[in-house]
Amino acid sequence: MSSGLIKKKQPDSSTFVRNQPLRNPVESQTSEKDFDANLSDLQQLQLWAGALVVLPVFVQAPWVRLNPLSACLFTLFLLALGIPLALIGQRGWAVAGELLVGVSGSWLAGCLYWGWLRTQPLWHLPVESVVLPIALLGLSSRWRLSSSFYLASLLGTACTDLMMVMTGVMNQWPVVVMAPLQQAPRLLHETAKQLLHPLPLIALVCAATLIVLLAQAMQQKTHLASEFRNTWAVASAVLVTTVIIDGLFLIAALINPGLSGLI
């Protein structure tokens, strides 16, 4: 060679590429029954989670008043349907099964309280927490979706009860639910009107804003590549739906108390 130097052969880039192992396009798989957590799936998941929060409002409340025992036994049906779906179902069906298992915890607690202790407001949150230990354990298992649904529902309930205490209407609870059917709508309407005073109204708006901000923070976590993204999506949807339901309850109590579900 004219330069007197031995030139090193440059590696063939095509050979270099061919010799590299192909990267797995899915680097981490969640344990939530192969649920593809893209944006569309997350939106569908949140839609179903929100719908299942609404279920007790239209089904459980009147059922418990008529026959609380049969309403409690319906918990077994939810579990009998949800567990097999979660274990052997494919994709969306498996996720639906896990959500139903989470609903069963909230359903059972609601039936126990509204069936036998509805006149005791101080027992509301303790009874609603009856499945709390199981839900906390479930966060570290394949049932994290079930746990997130129940825990977010419980958090929403706790916020609602706290605001009832802070706005001074908690002491009217037993008065309304124990009143004769002819008087209960009027009492509920008068109680709801108390929340329209400036201080209670400001407190409610602030509380609702904080809950929505918390839900948005949870929603932001769904953008991370994590096996918990579906869990955060469910919790966010449940909290937002709880705020909406509480707002609709207040509107119903002001316009047509009979539609509130409380009486």
pLDDT one-digit tens code per residue, 122-164: 999 999 999 999 999 999 999 999 999 999 999 999 999 999 9
**Predicted pLDDT of residue 208:** 97
What does the H/E/C string look like for the chain?
CCCCCCCCCCCCHHHHHHCCCCCCCCCCCCCCCCCCCCHHHHHHHHHHHHHHHHHHHHHHHHHHHHCHHHHHHHHHHHHHHHHHHHHHCCCHHHHHHHHHHHHHHHHHHHHHHHHHCCCCHHHHHHHHCCCHHHHHHHCCCCCHHHHHHHHHHHHHHHHHHHHHHHCCCHHHHHHHHHCCCCCHHHHHHHHHHHCCCHHHHHHHHHHHHHHHHHHHHHHHHCCCCCCCHHHHHHHHHHHHHHHHHHHHHHHHHHHCHHHCCCC
Min mean pLDDT across 4-8, 64-68, 117-121, 155-159 is at: 4-8
Residue 34 has pLDDT above 90, yes or no: no
pTM: 0.84
Average pLDDT over residues 16-45: 54
Domain boundaries in the chain? 32-259
**Predicted pLDDT of residue 38:** 66
